[in-house]
């Protein structure tokens, strides 16, 4: 606080209030299992697994509150509530009441129902309602780490979590996952052949590549080639859930206006029989919503939404997906296919975001959710799209209210429209905020968004961008253990243990290649600061600091890095910073290629190696050998003199 009366002259006198360390805590836990470092716990709300605030951001004033309803309020007819005192006692400590933010936990028994005589449970939702923990629920709990099987069951029963696991796909290679805000944030990668590009083998390769880079699910959005063959191959090859948009297949080989109810139901049955785990059905776009689209800058950008809008106008009828909803539910229930209810009116530009058309459709998605739950089908909701950053929280929380906490699955959202070619970046910014404010799954966007069909490297870039968004949100939400990975890498970084640093990184090949591009020596500095200016090295040397002193992360002596791998060589070639000769040198560091050293280097290595031989067993084993030993990747670089020499050599 600065005080300065109007009559005063000269410098202002600063009267500062005493500083007190009071971060804005809301009861969330620490995302670090062992509470490493000095950071405070998460600023999110207290975890409420079993209620509507399971890992939730605090609501900004004016935001919609959660719905008072869950899937328990939309039971099939004939089901009756079961009171089981023994079971309630066993589970009383694991399920929580739905509290207001910041209120203390109140343990309550979970609900359980009995189905009518002769009923056979098929879907994960039906099993959960009956109090049954399925093998898939157990597997989900095992993969999540912070949830018990009973908590997974309770979240599925409430409709806040789905396990997309078609019974057919389970007979192949599917490894079940959950999608819901009580779990970790998932990401989806879109695949699919178009009429002008790609083929089945390429799509299988992209599927495996997407899973390699972190995709939790994949959607086959093929619009060309043999769609049935491509879909069947993808499902049989996939360990992750596969989603589709059935309307694409419905219009292949026929005019849109010839689409009938019979064709719609037959194709949905066909894809369910093949093993599709979740389907996007654009049933919420109604005839009465179309007038709200006429003044949009870019109209309807959803392929399914635009096709159905045209069908409705051509036939002067209601959306056939809406009219057939109950029949579609019954098909999906037979195979345990989850709905991903499509947002056909999602905005395609910032100028159309959060408009009346979008929100009227969202309200209809809530109605469809209720009807699907009443027929035993799992549901998640699809969301936008292109949303200004300031509107993201509202979009997440209005969906939470209108759709009763069903998992929200969003595309991006992109937070600006003027960076084509970089929309994996513009959208992962929005995706981070979306996940923090309630989205359970993020659909990746690649650099090819709006421009063309993504190729292999585009898939990688999209997946990595969205793994960053998902992981950042999980840490911010205080999900237990979410920050452990970061803490481990920080320990390695503090210790200047480059090998461990790269081993722990998400993409070790790229990290190593970029490091060696400037300095192909693992020593106690990098080319960013150099030896004398390395703050991490200086902190490590200060005895009063804990930084860098974890013995489990202690590095060995400095050494020349290994020869480039094929992937690292490709990365550096594409970057174009180094000459082909320099890249060849980095890729050819073998005993034969490096067996001849300069007399100066040989003498220095011999003398300094002998001096260190007695102080380090690992160093002694390498440097105590005769000076004729080749300078290969396993050789140590003496320091600090040699480190400084290498620095000067590489940073001239």
Query: What percent of the chain stands above pLDDT 70?
Result: 84
Q: Please check whether residue 57 lies inside any domain of the structure.
A: no
pLDDT number for residue 202: 86
CA 481 to chain centroid: 16
Shared domain check, 511 and 369 = no
Q: Please check whether residue 85 lies inside any domain of the structure.
A: no
Q: Please check whether residue 128 lies inside any domain of the structure.
A: no
Shared domain check, 374 and 233 = yes
For the entire predicted model, the pTM comes to 0.86
pLDDT number for residue 621: 38
Q: What is the CATH number of the domain that holds 309?
A: 3.20.20.540
pLDDT number for residue 641: 60
Supply the range of the domain harboring residue 607. 496-650
Shared domain check, 546 and 428 = no
* Domains of the chain: total: 2
Give the span between the Cα atoms of 408 and 369, in whole angstroms: 12
pLDDT number for residue 83: 74
- State pLDDT tens for residues 241-282: 999 999 999 998 899 999 999 999 999 999 999 999 999 999
Shared domain check, 342 and 283 = yes
Q: Please check whether residue 539 lies inside any domain of the structure.
A: yes
Q: Please check whether residue 568 lies inside any domain of the structure.
A: yes
CB 133 within 8 A of CB 90: no
Shared domain check, 466 and 503 = no
Furthest C-alpha separation in the chain: 91
Give the span between the Cα atoms of 180 and 379, in whole angstroms: 11
Shared domain check, 472 and 542 = no
| Domain end marker among 450, 477, 504 | 477
Prior bond of 223 cis (ω within 30°): no
Residue in 450, 441, 341, 446 with CA at minimum distance from that of residue 396? 441
Residue in 179, 76, 175 with CA at minimum distance from that of residue 129? 76
| Domain end marker among 477, 507, 539 | 477
Shared domain check, 532 and 397 = no
Contacting residues for 163 by C-beta, under 8 A, at least 6 apart = 124, 134, 136, 137, 140, 152, 156, 176, 177, 178, 179, 338, 378
Residue ranges of the chain whose pLDDT lies below 50:
95-109, 591-638, 651-652
Shared domain check, 503 and 433 = no
Shared domain check, 430 and 313 = yes
Q: Please check whether residue 18 lies inside any domain of the structure.
A: no
Shared domain check, 424 and 335 = yes
pLDDT number for residue 174: 98
- State pLDDT tens for residues 81-122: 987 666 555 555 554 444 444 433 333 446 789 999 999 999
Shared domain check, 325 and 216 = yes
The tokens for 214 are 């972190």
Q: Please check whether residue 284 lies inside any domain of the structure.
A: yes
Q: Please check whether residue 484 lies inside any domain of the structure.
A: no
Shared domain check, 330 and 284 = yes
């Amino acid at each position: 606080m600065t005080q300065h009366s109007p009559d005063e002259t000269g410098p202002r006198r600063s009267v500062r209030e005493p500083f007190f360390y009071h971060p804005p805590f809301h009861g969330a836990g620490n995302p670090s299992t062992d509470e490493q470092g000095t950071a405070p716990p998460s600023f999110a709300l207290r975890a409420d697994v079993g209620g509507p605030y399971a890992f939730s951001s605090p609501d900004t004033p004016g935001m919609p509150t959660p719905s008072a309803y869950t899937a328990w309020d939309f039971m099939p007819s004939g089901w009756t509530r079961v009171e089981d005192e023994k079971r309630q006692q066993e589970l009383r400590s694991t399920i929580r009441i739905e509290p207001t933010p910041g209120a203390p936990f109140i343990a309550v028994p979970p609900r359980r129902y009995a189905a009518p005589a002769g009923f056979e449970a098929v879907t994960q939702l039906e099993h959960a309602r009956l109090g049954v923990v399925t093998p898939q629920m157990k597997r989900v709990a095992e993969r999540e780490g912070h949830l018990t099987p009973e908590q997974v069951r309770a979240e599925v029963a409430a409709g806040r979590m789905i396990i997309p696991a078609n019974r057919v796909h389970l007979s192949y290679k599917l490894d079940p996952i959950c999608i819901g805000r009580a779990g970790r944030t998932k990401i989806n990668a879109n695949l699919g052949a178009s009429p002008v590009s790609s083929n089945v083998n390429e799509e299988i390769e992209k599927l495996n590549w997407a899973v390699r880079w972190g995709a939790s699910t994949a959607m086959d959005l093929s619009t060309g080639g043999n769609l049935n063959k491509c879909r069947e191959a993808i499902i049989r090859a996939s360990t992750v859930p596969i989603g589709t948009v059935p309307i694409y297949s419905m219009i292949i080989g026929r005019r849109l206006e010839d689409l009938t109810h019979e064709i719609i139901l037959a194709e949905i049955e066909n894809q369910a029989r093949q093993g599709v785990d979740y389907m996007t059905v654009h049933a919420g776009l109604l005839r009465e919503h179309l007038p709200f689209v006429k003044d949009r800058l870019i109209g309807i950008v959803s392929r399914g939404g635009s096709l159905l809008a045209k069908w409705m106008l051509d036939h002067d009828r209601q959306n056939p997906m809406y009219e057939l909803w109950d029949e579609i539910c019954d098909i999906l229930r037979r195979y345990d296919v989850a709905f991903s209810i499509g947002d056909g009116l999602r905005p395609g530009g910032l100028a159309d975001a959060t408009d009346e058309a979008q929100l009227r459709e969202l309200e209809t998605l809530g109605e469809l959710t209720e009807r699907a739950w009443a027929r035993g089908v799992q549901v998640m909701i699809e969301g936008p799209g292109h949303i200004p950053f300031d509107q993201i929280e509202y979009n997440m929380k209005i969906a939470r209210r209108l759709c009763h906490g069903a998992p929200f699955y969003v595309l991006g959202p992109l937070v600006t429209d003027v960076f084509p070619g970089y929309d994996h970046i513009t959208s992962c910014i929005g995706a981070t905020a979306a996940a923090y404010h309630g989205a359970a799954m993020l659909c990746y966007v690649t650099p090819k968004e709006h421009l063309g069909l993504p190729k292999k490297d585009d898939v990688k870039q999209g997946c990595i961008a969205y793994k960053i968004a998902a992981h950042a949100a999980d840490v911010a939400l205080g999900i237990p253990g979410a920050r452990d990975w970061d803490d481990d890498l920080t320990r390695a970084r503090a210790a200047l243990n480059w090998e461990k640093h790269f081993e722990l990184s998400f993409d070790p090949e790229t990290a190593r290649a970029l490091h060696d591009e400037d300095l192909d020596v693992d020593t106690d500095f990098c080319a960013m600061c150099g030896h004398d200016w390395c703050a991490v090295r200086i902190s490590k040397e200060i005895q009063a600091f804990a930084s860098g002193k974890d013995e489990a992360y202690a590095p060995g002596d400095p050494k020349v890095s290994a020869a480039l791998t094929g992937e690292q060589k490709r990365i550096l070639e594409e970057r174009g910073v180094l000459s082909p000769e320099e890249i060849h040198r980095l890729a050819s560091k073998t005993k034969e290629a490096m067996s001849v050293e300069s007399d100066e280097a040989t003498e220095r290595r011999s003398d300094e190696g002998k001096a260190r031989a007695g102080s380090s067993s690992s160093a002694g084993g390498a440097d105590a050998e005769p000076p004729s030993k080749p300078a290969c990747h396993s050789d140590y670089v003496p320091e600090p003199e040699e480190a400084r020499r290498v620095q000067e050599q590489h940073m001239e």
